[in-house]
Amino acid sequence: MSTPIIHADRTGYSELVRRNADFRFLWFGQIVSLLGDWFTLIASATLISILTKSGVAVGGLFVVRMLAPFFISPVAGVAADRYDRKKLLILADLARAVVVLGFLLVKDAQDVWLLYTLTAVQLGISGFFFPARNAILPSIVSPMELGAANALSSVTWSVMLAFGTALGGFVAGGLGVYKAFLIDALSFVLSALFIARIRYKPTLDAHKMDRSIRAAFRQYIDGLGYLRKHLDIFAVVLHKAGLSLTSSAGLQVIQVALAERVFMIGKGGGISMGIMFAVVGVGTGIGPIIARRHTGDRDPLLRIAIAVSFLMIAVGVAITAPLFDFGTVLAGILLRGVGGGIVWVFSTQLLMQLVPDQIRGRLFATEFALFTLMSAVSAAITGWAIDNPALGLSGTMWCIAGLCLVPAALWSLCIKRARASRGAP
């Protein structure tokens, strides 16, 4: 497949934001929306922990958060390639604002089912938002801006994870969880207003497209067929799923348990939970920025950095596992955040550089589906494991550290075989 590859960092981050108004509005919308998202995550996890006192129940929250987008992703991916991506983003934001207000009705343990249901609806709608957002990004920036735009968007996710979870932890632990839900609803409205200002013209003429269910199903199958023909791209699509299965989703459940059972600061451990999630955000933010100074957007270096990053995650989890003290735990969390951020950003960059526009929505939806499915599996297993006396928190983390070596080894093997097929030394 002859696809142009971006070989260098051609545009600076500040220059991109200053000169490209369309990206700037998309970015502003991302900032306020993610701030509210992290508020809701901390508030929901804190509320379930207080109401149920169960690791399985907390793990169930993360399962619900991930399974909903998985089931909706086939429809979402086709929608992102058939309809106006800008309108999809606006509708998704407004719908989520309404759904989040429903969290205010959860008052006691008998209402936990409602929290799960609303979470499923909210994240199902998010299943439309994220593939459309990833698919629209290369259409509103130039090829020379794409690397900086992807890195800045991913770093923003990390910064808002750090800031939003820390602030959300203080709000949930100090003022109560319901304030966080109100802030999240407002953030979605603000995001929709920013996105509405983007100048975007769909590359496909929706009026000339076959809108039947059969055509939509055929489009989805065509997307899967593309992956069968391009196994190298399929391997890249699997990175986020591998990251979630081996570490990230399970460690989110563990951090909730650590805040409640070991390092409790604030009501229900809300403050310490916020601090841990914030440290992850710092790591995922600085990791790609530092690594990209050495790799640029060069395909071979991006791939090598991903393999090294899985090893960094394993070391970070191993540092955390003994639970010596809160400071050491945070150091390990920071290191695995650095590795996780690099895997996430660099795999996204590879797909944006390699995948053509007309199929981009379906591939990002497939990637998101696999990621959410593996997140649900990981969260469910981890929730069970930390409540199992034979493993507990520390034992579960040692298992996770070992699992992280598997994707590192497999991806290194893929790189070696690719080099051999090209006759490289």
Mean pLDDT of 27-31: 84
* pLDDT level of residue 376 (50, 70, 90 thresholds): confident
Q: What is the pLDDT of residue 200?
A: 77
In this prediction, residue 315 carries a pLDDT of 93
pLDDT, residue 338, reads 92
Q: Where are the domains of the chain?
A: 13-200+211-421
Q: Distance between CA 24 and CA 39 in Å, rounded?
A: 23
* 155-192 confidence digits (pLDDT tens): 777 677 667 666 776 776 666 678 778 888 888 898 89
Q: How far apart are CA 408 and CA 336, in angstroms?
A: 14
- State the pLDDT confidence band at 94, using cuts at 50, 70 and 90: very high
CA atoms within 13 A on the CB side of 340: 32
Measured CA to CA in angstroms, residue 243 lies from 31, 123, 159, 400 at distances of 24, 19, 19, 11
Q: What is the pTM of this model?
A: 0.70
18 exposure class (CB count in 10 Å sphere: 0-12, 13-18, 19+): exposed
331: confidence class by pLDDT, cuts 50, 70, 90: very high
pLDDT confidence of residue 194: 92
> How much is the pLDDT for 2?
32
Phi-psi region of 269 (alpha: psi -120 to 50; beta: other; left: phi over 0): left
Q: What is the pLDDT of residue 249?
A: 79
380-408 per-position pLDDT tens digit: 888 888 888 888 888 888 988 998 899 88
Contact between residue 39 and residue 177 where contact means Cβ atoms under 8 Å apart: no
Query: Which one, of 336, 332, 315, 311, lies nearest residue 405 by Cα?
Result: 311
Fold of 13-200+211-421: Growth Hormone; Chain: A; (1.20.1250)
pLDDT digit string, tens, across residues 202-257: 665 544 555 555 666 676 677 677 777 877 888 888 888 888 888 877 888 888 88
- Judged against a pLDDT cut of 90, whether residue 134 lies above it is answered with no
Helix axes 85-101, 55-82, angle to 10 degrees: 150
Q: Does 330 have pLDDT greater than 90?
A: yes
Query: How open is the CA angle 138-119-27, to the nearest 5 degrees?
Result: 25
pLDDT of residue 6: 38
pLDDT of 207 reads 45
Q: Using alpha carbons only, what angle is made at residue 154 by residues 355 and 29, rounded to the nearest 5 degrees?
A: 100
Does 3 have pLDDT greater than 60?
no
| % pLDDT > 70, the chain | 86
pLDDT digits (tens, 9 = 90+) for 40-85: 777 787 778 777 767 677 777 777 877 777 777 777 777 777 778 8
Query: Shortest CA distance to 88 belongs to which of 75, 70, 100?
Result: 75
Please report, in angstroms and rounded to a whole number, the separation of the first and last CA atoms in the chain. 22
Tens of pLDDT, residue by residue over 266-325, are 766 767 877 888 888 788 888 888 888 888 778 788 889 999 999 999 999 999 888 888
pLDDT category, 130, cuts 50, 70, 90?
Answer: confident
